[in-house]
Amino acid sequence: MRIARPARDMGTTAPMTGQVVGLVPARSGSRGLKNKNVRELDGVPLLVRAVQSGLAASSLDYVFVSTDSPDYADLARRAGADVSFLRPAEFAGDAATDLDVARHVVSMLDAAGRPPAIIAWLRPTTPLRQPADIDNAVALLRSRPDLHSVRSITKVTKGHPYWSKRRDQDTGMLTPYVDGCDERTHPRRQVLPPVFRANGVIDVFHADNPRQDFLFGTRMLGYEVPEMRSVDIDAAVDLVMAEACLRWLHENGSGEAAAIPTAAYEMAVV
């Protein structure tokens, strides 16, 4: 049964009071990389890393994990997360959307007398998030009552739309992806207009958004995260990339690696 929901109204925002909840979406199925949400990075499961980053953020009241797996739920609880209910199968399949998951969790917390005001979306597959990323994004949303959400972004340095191509399936011929814009009009990288991609490191939105049948809305503010910490793990090669990025951050002493929680894992899950 689908959850009953009010009429959509993207012109309103939630009040700036109530609890701020870190929500970790971690279903057990995955088509690309099997069990990717519990794959280990530097010896720590991605799910645990997501929980740790939320627990280390001063802006969150607690971290909730949405999962359909009792095993994942047990791992999350031992890491310090709240998993007071499991995700139903109808919201755990390939067709389920982030909106479905957020709407389910918010409605269940509402029914339990724990209505959240703000949700910080903590994907396990972006494991190089810092607690400061969460706190900064929450602060930005609180400071701007006109916003629907704050979304982390990274500047596109490769695969710029102006240099991308469409390929005719019959002839194999290439044409500009953006009409009138290609290497002839923009021959150097320095003259390309800045383009950003949502990287999934941290998205923060009002809990009223899913109550009103939308997630990020139209009034989104970008929070820029360095490319080195924007790896999104969807395939085995991404996990290799994340390992390399984490190692580089440690070796270069930038301070960014030290801010990524890892050390508490053994204590948390014993």
pLDDT digits (tens, 9 = 90+) for 12-35: 454 446 799 999 999 997 777 889
How far apart are the C-alpha atoms of 246 and 41, rounded to whole Å? 9
Encoded tokens for 202: 């941290």
Mean pLDDT of 89-115: 94
Contact by Cβ (8 Å): 27, 69: yes
> Does position 261 have pLDDT exceeding 90, yes or no?
no
Contact by Cβ (8 Å): 121, 204: yes
CATH says 19-156+195-269 is which class?
alpha beta
Select from 47, 32, 27, 35 the least CA-distant residue to 96. 27
> How many CA atoms lie within 13 Å of 257's alpha carbon, on the beta-carbon side?
16
Beta bridge partners of 64: 23, 82
How much is the pTM? 0.85
Q: What is the pLDDT of residue 3?
A: 34
The crossing angle, in degrees rounded to 10, of helices 131-143 and 46-55 is 50
Q: Which amino acid is at 221?
A: L
> Does position 4 have pLDDT exceeding 90, yes or no?
no
Each domain of the chain, given as residue ranges in start order, spans 19-156+195-269, 161-191
